[in-house]
Amino acid sequence: MDTILIGIAGGTGSGKTTLTRHLKEHFGDAVTVIGHDSYYKRQEGKTYEERAQVNYDHPAAFETELLVEHLHQLKAGHSVQCPVYSYVDHNRTDETVTVMPNKVIIVEGILIFQNPALRDMLDIKIFVETDADVRILRRCLRDVEERGRTLQSVVTQYLTTVKPMHERYVEPSRKYADIVVLEGGHNLVALEMIMQRIQNHIDGN
């Protein structure tokens, strides 16, 4: 199987997930999605309060080596056991999800272009760019409504870790992108072009 790896990166709330969801809904089982967030390190021996203070926007928070290993296995035609992360508990769970090899694998995450080993594996690198004020508003709504966070905790985290890490790691990784998409999944022209590229690969194998 000739597998193509597509990376979708960008800042928090940029529209990465919306773009990825549109692609998944369009192609169904022909596309597999893996989130870098699933590979957050397990926080052994830490209380909930201590786990809540971890800088989850720093590259060190991820077990990226395991993701790279899993992508190699998938490209070789082998299934992998993908970790499951709980945003509510701020920790990796004991559960895993079986991921099967596929012709198209989409890897999504804010820092996937920052790690050279992971970046070099990606055949197509897409960076989603959205104004910072829009991104923080989206993040606030998501974390409060979907992840049970308080507004104050979201704002504090944004100012202390999310914004500094975006400026230090995420934004500089934009230069590695093959395609920069403004407004993510709401950019229908870019979405159609990406869909056509994926369809060409599916049809050609």
Beta-strand ranges (E) seen in 24-139 are 31-35, 80-86, 91-99, 104-108, 124-129
Residue 80 confidence (pLDDT): 98
Give the C-alpha separation, 77 to 89, whole Å. Answer: 33
Average pLDDT per run of 10 along the chain, which is 205 residues long? 94 89 95 97 91 91 98 97 92 96 97 97 96 84 84 86 92 96 88 96 84
Q: Please tell me the CATH code under which domain 4-197 is placed.
A: 3.40.50.300
The span from the CA of 36 to the CA of 169, in Å, is 15
CA separation for the pair 104, 5 (Å, rounded): 6
What pLDDT was estimated at residue 195?
Answer: 96
**Contact of 34 with 81, CB cutoff 8 Å:** no
Which pLDDT score, from 0 to 100, does residue 136 have? 83
Task: Count, in order, helices (H) and strands (E) of the chain.
Answer: 8, 7
Per-residue confidence (pLDDT) for residue 205, from 0 to 100: 53
